[in-house]
């Protein structure tokens, strides 16, 4: 059984070939759509199809589209007095949903879409706040995010990057440690009213804040490499079609993280 080291994509049965789950003895087609008769002559439920790249792309597009729509709705409809509360609440709830989806045995499309909607509010609010101080920064961050993601995908494919167990372990441990540090920093910032290690949205920029953002961007890009690798392995091993939602979820979470870090870094540069 092929398993992923990615904390979001790693599930015991995530990349188990669909044929093994439903039994090769039934002789279903490669995509699992052949119905087999159940005892007594009643038709059995059709086995689930297999994960494909097209499925992952389609579901990622759906998830990202919902995120963008809710971000736009929050941008235009949210009263200014609620910017900060909405940003904090949606960020915390989004984090909880990420944990729930990550630890569930079976991926839930509803939870994936719920995450996209909640995180859309967070993205809309944080983008609105940064844009009010640095006009044009949102467009710059979007371009930088997709450029980085595209360059990472191109490097992964054209340079035939192979993800080793050691590489995965280093990236995952670093990601978990960084997330824990940022969560503590976030709580500290709320308690003290300061920007913590990263500073505020405006004001002087420390070298440490810049280094943290650069490290976070590198880490997000490395997580994209893991996402691409695990999705590719899932398709090759015949993972169940429902795992396309998990792949889309992993990509969406990483892209959101990369965008927020680009937003921060560009704001540091523009100061």
130 lies in some domain: yes
151 lies in some domain: yes
Residues 134-158, mean pLDDT to the nearest whole number: 93
Neighbours of 191 (CB within 10 A): 9
235 lies in some domain: yes
5 lies in some domain: no
Question: Does the pLDDT at position 151 exceed 60?
Answer: yes
- Average pLDDT of the chain is 81
SS3 state of residue 83: helix
Phi, psi of 32 (to 5 degrees): 75, 25
The tally of domains found in the chain comes to 1
CB-CB contact of 30 with 18 (8 Å): no
98 lies in some domain: yes
DSSP character for 195? -
Give the span between the Cα atoms of 117 and 65, in whole angstroms.
Answer: 10
Which comes out higher in pLDDT, residue 122 or 13?
122
pLDDT tens column, 201-220: 777 788 888 999 999 999 99
SS3 state of residue 15: strand
Residue 268: exposed, middle, or buried by beta-carbon count in 10 A (0-12, 13-18, 19+)? middle
Residues 166-172, mean pLDDT to the nearest whole number: 92
pLDDT tens column, 21-57: 433 333 333 333 334 444 555 444 445 588 888 899 9
Domain that includes residue 178, residue range: 51-270
DSSP character for 44? P
Residues 253-271, mean pLDDT to the nearest whole number: 93
What is residue 105's predicted lDDT score, i.e. its pLDDT?
A: 80
Half-sphere exposure (CA, 13 Å, Cβ side) for 223? Answer: 28
74 lies in some domain: yes
69 lies in some domain: yes
Give the span between the Cα atoms of 35 and 21, in whole angstroms.
Answer: 15
Phi, psi of 37 (to 5 degrees): -70, 140
Give the span between the Cα atoms of 58 and 56, in whole angstroms.
Answer: 5
30 lies in some domain: no
Percent of the chain topping pLDDT 90: 46
What is residue 35's predicted lDDT score, i.e. its pLDDT?
A: 40
Question: Does the pLDDT at position 127 exceed 80?
Answer: yes
């Amino acid at each position: 059984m092929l398993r992923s080291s990615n904390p979001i994509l790693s599930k015991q049965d995530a990349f188990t070939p669909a044929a093994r789950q439903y039994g090769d003895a039934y002789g279903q087609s490669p995509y699992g759509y052949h119905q087999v008769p159940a005892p007594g002559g009643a038709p059995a439920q059709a086995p689930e199809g297999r994960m494909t790249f097209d499925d992952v792309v389609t579901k990622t597009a759906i998830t990202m589209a919902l995120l963008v729509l809710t971000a736009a709705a929050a941008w235009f409809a949210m009263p200014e007095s609620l910017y900060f509360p909405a940003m904090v609440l949606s960020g915390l709830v989004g984090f909880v949903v990420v944990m729930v989806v990550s630890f569930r045995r079976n991926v839930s499309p509803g939870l994936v879409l719920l995450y996209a909607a909640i995180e859309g509010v967070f993205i809309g609010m944080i983008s609105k706040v940064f844009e009010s101080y640095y006009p044009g920064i949102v467009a710059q961050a979007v371009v930088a995010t997709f450029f980085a993601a595209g360059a990472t995908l191109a490097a992964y494919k054209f340079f035939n990057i192979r993800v080793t167990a050691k590489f995965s372990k280093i990236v995952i441990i670093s990601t978990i440690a960084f997330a824990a540090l940022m969560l503590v920093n976030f709580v500290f910032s709320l308690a003290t009213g300061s920007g913590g290690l990263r500073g505020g949205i405006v004001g002087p920029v420390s070298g440490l804040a810049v280094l943290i953002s650069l490290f976070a961007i590198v880490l997000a890009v490395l997580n994209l490499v893991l996402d691409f690798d695990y999705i590719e392995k899932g398709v090759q091993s015949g993972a169940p079609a429902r795992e396309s939602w998990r792949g889309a979820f992993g990509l969406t979470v990483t892209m959101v993280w990369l965008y927020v870090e680009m937003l921060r870094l560009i704001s540091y540069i523009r100061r």
